[in-house]
Structure 1
């Protein structure tokens, strides 16, 4: 939480919702990776997880832009 609050404090107000979304996305994707490892006995490499996070971030960005 301290890292999150610190990151938010260093960016302009207009970008804070983006920082929040990015942090939540990373947490969500790590949680999904954890579940895949525990329940499905499959795992991704750190590089694969990074690629999945970036792909999902682009999807979130496109969806957000479509809503405007």
Structure 2
């Protein structure tokens, strides 16, 4: 997974990446909670600003969601 994340950062930067649960397909493997854990582990070395952007801030900005 690290190779994919590195290539994604190199190609797009953190401001253009968004987390996706892949539900319901993730249920075919270890499940959505395990997938979220894998993503958290993969993003552990990323800055908190980039991690926050990927895990929700980018989606909120793109879909113009009210932060309240």
- TM-score, with normalisation over the residues of structure 2? 0.32
Larger radius of gyration: 1
Greater RCO (Cα-Cα under 8 Å, separation 6 or more): 2
Give the structure with the higher percent helix.
1
- TM-score, with normalisation over the residues of structure 1? 0.32
